Amino acid sequence: MTLNRRPSRLGTSLFLIALLFILPQCSSKSPAEHIENGLAYMEESRYLDAQHSFMQAIDAAPKSAEGYYHLGGAFNAQQQYEKAVEQFNTSIRLDPTHYDAHYSLGYALEQLGNKEEAEKHYALFKRLSEMSHRLEAKRKAPG
Protein backbone atom coordinates (compact mmCIF):
# COMPACT_ATOMS: atom_id res chain seq x y z
CA MET A 1 0.00 0.00 0.00
CA THR A 2 1.45 3.41 -0.96
CA LEU A 3 0.49 6.70 0.58
CA ASN A 4 -0.62 9.49 -1.67
CA ARG A 5 1.49 12.54 -0.68
CA ARG A 6 -0.61 15.03 -2.66
CA PRO A 7 -2.85 17.16 -0.50
CA SER A 8 -6.51 16.42 -0.82
CA ARG A 9 -8.85 19.02 -2.21
CA LEU A 10 -10.52 19.22 1.18
CA GLY A 11 -7.17 19.81 2.91
CA THR A 12 -6.20 22.49 0.41
CA SER A 13 -9.60 24.15 0.74
CA LEU A 14 -9.38 24.20 4.52
CA PHE A 15 -5.90 25.71 4.30
CA LEU A 16 -7.10 28.47 1.97
CA ILE A 17 -10.11 29.21 4.16
CA ALA A 18 -7.82 29.48 7.20
CA LEU A 19 -5.61 31.94 5.30
CA LEU A 20 -8.64 34.11 4.55
CA PHE A 21 -9.22 34.49 8.28
CA ILE A 22 -5.58 34.94 9.27
CA LEU A 23 -4.31 37.33 6.59
CA PRO A 24 -6.65 40.24 7.35
CA GLN A 25 -5.38 40.18 10.93
CA CYS A 26 -1.80 40.58 9.72
CA SER A 27 -1.10 44.23 9.37
CA SER A 28 1.57 46.09 7.50
CA LYS A 29 0.97 49.21 9.59
CA SER A 30 3.66 50.52 11.88
CA PRO A 31 3.08 50.74 15.64
CA ALA A 32 2.85 54.54 15.27
CA GLU A 33 0.07 54.17 12.69
CA HIS A 34 -1.88 51.88 15.02
CA ILE A 35 -1.49 54.40 17.82
CA GLU A 36 -2.57 57.24 15.53
CA ASN A 37 -5.68 55.24 14.58
CA GLY A 38 -6.37 54.47 18.23
CA LEU A 39 -6.11 58.12 19.18
CA ALA A 40 -8.56 59.02 16.41
CA TYR A 41 -10.98 56.44 17.80
CA MET A 42 -10.51 57.89 21.29
CA GLU A 43 -11.48 61.34 19.95
CA GLU A 44 -14.72 59.76 18.70
CA SER A 45 -15.29 57.91 22.01
CA ARG A 46 -14.93 54.59 20.15
CA TYR A 47 -13.00 53.00 23.00
CA LEU A 48 -13.22 49.36 21.92
CA ASP A 49 -11.87 50.26 18.48
CA ALA A 50 -9.15 52.30 20.17
CA GLN A 51 -8.26 49.34 22.41
CA HIS A 52 -7.96 47.12 19.35
CA SER A 53 -5.65 49.61 17.62
CA PHE A 54 -3.48 49.98 20.71
CA MET A 55 -3.26 46.20 21.08
CA GLN A 56 -2.11 46.00 17.45
CA ALA A 57 0.59 48.56 18.28
CA ILE A 58 1.65 46.39 21.22
CA ASP A 59 1.71 43.29 19.01
CA ALA A 60 3.89 45.14 16.52
CA ALA A 61 6.24 46.57 19.18
CA PRO A 62 5.84 44.70 22.49
CA LYS A 63 8.84 46.41 24.11
CA SER A 64 7.56 49.93 23.42
CA ALA A 65 5.93 51.78 26.31
CA GLU A 66 3.63 53.83 24.07
CA GLY A 67 1.13 51.12 23.16
CA TYR A 68 0.63 50.14 26.80
CA TYR A 69 0.32 53.78 27.85
CA HIS A 70 -2.41 54.46 25.30
CA LEU A 71 -4.21 51.19 26.04
CA GLY A 72 -4.26 52.25 29.69
CA GLY A 73 -5.79 55.54 28.59
CA ALA A 74 -8.57 53.69 26.77
CA PHE A 75 -9.31 51.74 29.95
CA ASN A 76 -9.25 54.94 32.02
CA ALA A 77 -11.77 56.49 29.62
CA GLN A 78 -14.08 53.53 30.25
CA GLN A 79 -13.57 53.71 34.02
CA GLN A 80 -11.86 50.29 33.99
CA TYR A 81 -9.20 51.47 36.39
CA GLU A 82 -7.78 48.08 37.42
CA LYS A 83 -7.02 47.29 33.77
CA ALA A 84 -5.64 50.78 33.28
CA VAL A 85 -3.27 50.34 36.23
CA GLU A 86 -1.90 47.13 34.67
CA GLN A 87 -1.19 48.86 31.37
CA PHE A 88 0.39 51.94 32.93
CA ASN A 89 2.59 49.76 35.13
CA THR A 90 3.78 47.88 32.05
CA SER A 91 4.46 51.16 30.27
CA ILE A 92 6.49 52.43 33.23
CA ARG A 93 8.36 49.14 33.56
CA LEU A 94 9.43 49.52 29.92
CA ASP A 95 10.19 53.25 30.24
CA PRO A 96 10.47 54.54 33.82
CA THR A 97 10.85 58.11 32.52
CA HIS A 98 7.46 58.11 30.74
CA TYR A 99 6.05 60.95 32.81
CA ASP A 100 2.59 60.89 31.22
CA ALA A 101 2.24 57.24 32.22
CA HIS A 102 3.06 58.20 35.82
CA TYR A 103 0.37 60.89 35.78
CA SER A 104 -2.23 58.57 34.26
CA LEU A 105 -1.32 55.80 36.69
CA GLY A 106 -1.77 58.31 39.52
CA TYR A 107 -5.22 59.16 38.22
CA ALA A 108 -6.29 55.51 37.93
CA LEU A 109 -4.95 54.75 41.41
CA GLU A 110 -6.77 57.77 42.82
CA GLN A 111 -10.02 56.55 41.26
CA LEU A 112 -9.46 53.20 42.97
CA GLY A 113 -9.04 54.97 46.33
CA ASN A 114 -5.27 54.51 46.58
CA LYS A 115 -4.48 58.18 47.13
CA GLU A 116 -1.09 57.64 48.78
CA GLU A 117 0.28 55.65 45.84
CA ALA A 118 -1.37 58.09 43.42
CA GLU A 119 0.48 61.00 45.04
CA LYS A 120 3.81 59.24 44.50
CA HIS A 121 3.12 58.97 40.79
CA TYR A 122 1.91 62.55 40.55
CA ALA A 123 5.19 63.65 42.19
CA LEU A 124 7.18 61.49 39.75
CA PHE A 125 5.22 63.01 36.89
CA LYS A 126 6.08 66.50 38.07
CA ARG A 127 9.81 65.79 38.51
CA LEU A 128 10.18 63.87 35.26
CA SER A 129 8.23 66.37 33.17
CA GLU A 130 10.23 69.29 34.58
CA MET A 131 13.50 67.48 33.83
CA SER A 132 12.33 66.64 30.33
CA HIS A 133 11.32 70.22 29.61
CA ARG A 134 14.62 71.56 30.93
CA LEU A 135 16.58 69.11 28.76
CA GLU A 136 14.50 70.01 25.74
CA ALA A 137 15.05 73.75 26.32
CA LYS A 138 18.79 73.16 26.74
CA ARG A 139 18.87 71.13 23.54
CA LYS A 140 17.11 73.90 21.60
CA ALA A 141 19.21 76.71 23.07
CA PRO A 142 21.72 78.21 20.64
CA GLY A 143 25.34 77.73 21.34
Domains and CATH numbers, the chain: 32-140 (1.25.40.10)
Q: Say if residue 139's pLDDT is above 80.
A: yes
User: Residues 81-106: what's their mean pLDDT?
Assistant: 98
The pLDDT of residue 142 is 82
The pLDDT of residue 138 is 84
Distance CA 141, CA 138 (A): 5
Average model confidence (pLDDT) for the chain?
Answer: 88
The pLDDT of residue 41 is 97
- Give the residue with greater pLDDT, 11 vs 75: 75
* Segment 21-63, tens digit of pLDDT: 554 455 578 999 999 999 999 999 999 999 999 999 999 999 9
Q: Say if residue 1's pLDDT is above 70.
A: no
| φ/ψ bin of 113: left (φ > 0), alpha (ψ from -120 to 50), beta (otherwise) | left
